[in-house]
Amino acid sequence: MTKRNRHMNYFFKYLFLFIGSILAAVGLEIFLIPNNIIDGGIVGISIMMSYLSNYPLGLFIFLLNIPFLILGYKHIGKTFVISTLFSITSLSVWVTILKPIPGLTEDLMLAAVFGGIIVGIGVGLIIRYGGSLDGTEIIAIILDKKTGFSVGEIVMFFNLFILTSAGLIFGWDKAMYSLIAYFIAFKMIDITIEGLEETKAVMVISERSELIAEKVMARLGRGVTFLNGKGGYSGEERAVLYLVVTRLEIAKLKNIIDEVDENAFVTISEVHEVMGGTVKKRAIH
Question: The whole model's pTM is what?
Answer: 0.74
Domain ranges of the chain: 3-194, 199-271
pLDDT confidence of residue 134: 82
- The C-alpha angle with vertex 272 and arms to 270 and 274, in degrees rounded to 5, equals 110
pLDDT confidence of residue 154: 74
Task: Return the sign of the alpha-carbon dihedral for residues 173, 177, 178, 180.
Answer: positive
Q: Which long-range contacts (CB under 8 A, 24 or more apart) does 100-104 make?
A: 101/29, 101/30, 102/34, 103/29, 103/30, 103/31, 103/33, 103/34, 103/35, 104/30, 104/31
State how far the Cα of 179 lies from the Cα of 173, in Å rounded to an integer: 10
Fold of 199-271: Alpha-Beta Plaits (3.30.70)
Residue 206 in 3-state DSSP?
coil
- pLDDT, tens digit, 9 for 90 and up, residues 96-155: 999 989 988 999 999 999 999 999 999 889 988 888 888 777 777 777 667 766 666 677
Contact 126, 24 (CB under 8 A): yes
pLDDT confidence of residue 281: 44
State how far the Cα of 132 lies from the Cα of 91, in Å rounded to an integer: 11
State how far the Cα of 33 lies from the Cα of 4, in Å rounded to an integer: 42
Find all residues with CB under 8 Å of 66, minimum gap 6, and list them.
Answer: none
Residue 177 in 3-state DSSP?
helix
pLDDT confidence of residue 24: 95
State how far the Cα of 108 lies from the Cα of 37, in Å rounded to an integer: 8
User: Running along the chain, 285 residues long, what does each successive block of 10 average in pLDDT?
Assistant: 79 94 96 92 92 93 91 79 92 94 92 95 88 80 70 75 88 92 87 72 88 88 82 74 83 88 88 60 39
CA nearest 192: which of 23, 6, 58, 43? Answer: 23
pLDDT confidence of residue 152: 63
Angle between helices 250-260 and 209-219 (to 10 degrees): 140
